[in-house]
Structure 1
Amino acid sequence: MDLFHLSSRRYTGAKTKLLESIDESILKTFNYKDKRNLSFFDVFCGTGVVSEYFAKKPQFSHCILNDFLYSNFVIYQGFFAQDFFDFKKLESLKQEFANLQAKNIKENYYSKAFGDKFFSQNDSKIIGYLRDTLDRFLELKVINKQEFYILLASLLYSADRIANTVGHYDAYRKNIPLQDRFVYELIEPIKLTTTLEIYKEDSNLLAKQLLEQKRHIDIAFIDPPYNSRQYSRFYHLLENLSQNKKPKLYGVALKPKPENLSKYCNVGAKEVFKDLITSLAKICKVLVVSYNNTYSANSRSNARLKQDEIKEILESIGKVQMFEYNFKPFSSGKSNLSNHKERVFVCQVLTK
């Protein structure tokens, strides 16, 4: 049975290949090997692979996952939430979905918008039909909420795997004959003993909420957006598919009106980062910041925070060590990118 794992997706800035390096950096500063019942806060969760890595370690008993994209929230619920679901029912539905034929499906919002662009016409008809079917099944209580999230996350992964893109949805590849390639496959939910909290919040506001609750967190991992490329715009199609609100679309890339924009992608990145660190320093023992040295011929790809700025802000609240690793960054092929490094700052917060 071919199941999707959490890391089985294309995502800008994914830390899948840096997990051990991040862990080694933390251990050199905060040796947690002999500790138990630690808590981990993934502030900008992205793909969720960092949370998965630490949630599976015996030292960690509680993890907080947060991302402001609705599609990522759906994916976390599908993979991480430990609520009841009937996998035999899901497999049965998968077989039912596999027998769908586009010729028997009416045109829908997704086929009209994305057919012969991001997907073939037939594939987009099936994707749209399945999305509406999941809402109907939930409303009729054919499936429970957890089964809905698993099936919807599975649809996101299945659609993303065959999308006519270079890995994001800022544009689709043109002048390419599209084949019918869509196959609906299920994700494999992660079995954990770790307790979890899953949020879809602005990271700065969530940090303030946790501070108001007087929470105590051992490690916070902070991997904010690097440049001016908004993730809500990069992944607008998955956001659209997740929410199924069917908004009006604009432009060549067929995007809805801008929403859910991150301040970390504009000129105010330094101030909003400082605000976040100030809040987290009051509830966390260790802050881990991952950031790369992206500077290129394409100004949109340039890093919004400089190394010295990150270091200065962290040093204002604790003792900082910086580690550097080779890391291949995202490139659409239009930027001159070389000698790229991922920098990991580990800050032991000084108690006041």
Structure 2
Amino acid sequence: MDGMQGFIFQNYSEAGGRMYFTKENAMLIDAGISLVYEMYENKQLNDQQFYYCLCSVLEAADKVSNTTGFYSAYLKTFSKPALNKICFKGFELKDPVAENEVFQGDANDLLKEVRGDILYLDPPYTNMQYSNVYHLLNTIAKNEQPTIAGITGRPEGRNVSSWSHKKKVESEFRTLVESANFEYLIMSYSNESIMSSELIADVMSSCGRYEMKEMNHKKFNLGTNITDNKFITEHLHVLQKAG
């Protein structure tokens, strides 16, 4: 497949002054994502085939990105993996997924439509916005050409989560717990998070039978030489809602 000088090449390679990808890999990403969308729009791919091919492009792009894993910044020189030629590969689907349902949207809005036995929650812990951290993968996946700004080329107007705002998160959490039509609510949350364990316990215990488990995990440090606070405590908050 020949490459093309599309949005990724023009803005996220050396050609655009941002070294997220080499020029050659950026051109192939542009060509790959353009082909997937063109085939889908021409009815040459059904929904499942479209998402399968989309995943192949994203996985391939991520393997040759010149980052530390997050896309909030790029490295000043190309890393060894980033210099490899991108390779689009298929992958084996080991487990059946035909009966699964996937929703995308605000959690509190979705709870008006979804109900069940167990609701597992893994919300953002900190004020880090994932729409910024993974902005480039979102741009590739959606085949967008957003208005971007700054050295890192972050798109303007991307979604900002209230779960990452100290002043807004309690209201979001309380609304979710009170409105969730599930028998059990289970939430994983770090001790280094916006909401305290005391606040979570207070909200959950007001809606039923509450308990908490905890486990230590090694702290992720983005490859830096941090030597203190190597571990964090992960809390598992469990609520059995009153009938």
| TM-score, scaled relative to structure 1 | 0.63
Comparing 227-236 and 114-123, the one that deviates more:
114-123
1:114-153 CA-partner distances (Å, limit 9, x unpaired): 1131111101100111111111111222222211110001
State the Cα distance separating 1:334 from its structure 2 match. Answer: 8.7
User: Is the 1:150–1:189 contact (alpha carbons within 8 Å) kept by the matching residues of 2?
Assistant: no
1:84-99 equivalences in 2 (<5 Å): none
1:45-78 CA-partner distances (Å, limit 9, x unpaired): xxxxxxxxxxxxxxxxxxxxxxxxxxxxxxxxxx
Aligned to 1:121: 23
CA RMSD of aligned residues (A): 1.9
Local SS of the residue matching 1:122: helix
| 273, 277, 285: which one aligns with 2:177 | 277
1:281-308 CA-partner distances (Å, limit 9, x unpaired): xx211110100012xxxxxxxx211111
Is it true that 1:349 corresponds to 2:236 in the alignment?
A: no
Amino acid of the residue matched to residue 7 of structure 2?
A: Y
* Shift in alpha-carbon separation, 1:292–1:170, aligned structure 2, 3 A: same
Q: Which runs of 5+ in 2 are unaligned?
A: none
| TM-score, scaled relative to structure 2 | 0.89
| 179, 187, 207: which one aligns with 2:111 | 207
Q: Which runs of 5+ in 1 are unaligned?
A: 1-99, 295-302
User: Is the 1:228–1:266 contact (alpha carbons within 8 Å) kept by the matching residues of 2?
Assistant: yes
Question: Bigger relative contact order, structure 1 or 2, given CA contacts below 8 A and separation 6+?
Answer: 1
Aligned to 1:187: 91
Local SS of the residue matching 2:56: helix
Alpha-carbon distance between aligned partners in 2 of 1:224 and 1:113, rounded to the nearest angstrom: 31
Alpha-carbon distance between aligned partners in 1 of 2:173 and 2:27, rounded to the nearest angstrom: 42
Alpha-carbon distance between aligned partners in 2 of 1:313 and 1:342, rounded to the nearest angstrom: 18
Amino acid of the residue matched to residue 285 of structure 1?
A: E
Aligned to 2:41: 139
| 199, 212, 217: which one aligns with 1:322 | 212
User: Is the 2:4–2:28 contact (alpha carbons within 8 Å) kept by the matching residues of 1?
Assistant: no
Amino acid of the residue matched to residue 346 of structure 1?
A: V
State the Cα distance separating 1:193 from its structure 2 match. Answer: 7.0
What is the aligned residue count? 234
Amino acid of the residue matched to residue 8 of structure 2?
A: Y
User: Is the 2:219–2:230 contact (alpha carbons within 8 Å) kept by the matching residues of 1?
Assistant: no
Local SS of the residue matching 2:215: strand
Aligned to 1:8: none
1:321-340 CA-partner distances (Å, limit 9, x unpaired): 21111223443449764331
Alpha-carbon distance between aligned partners in 1 of 2:161 and 2:197, rounded to the nearest angstrom: 20
Alpha-carbon distance between aligned partners in 2 of 1:146 and 1:203, rounded to the nearest angstrom: 24
Amino acid of the residue matched to residue 206 of structure 1?
A: L
State the Cα distance separating 1:205 from its structure 2 match. Answer: 0.8
Alpha-carbon distance between aligned partners in 2 of 1:287 and 1:201, rounded to the nearest angstrom: 19
1:1-352 equivalences in 2 (<5 Å): 100=1, 104-116=2-14, 117-176=19-78, 178-192=82-96, 195-210=99-114, 215=115, 217-267=116-166, 268-280=168-180, 283-294=181-192, 303-332=193-222, 333=224, 337-351=229-243
User: Is the 2:73–2:152 contact (alpha carbons within 8 Å) kept by the matching residues of 1?
Assistant: yes
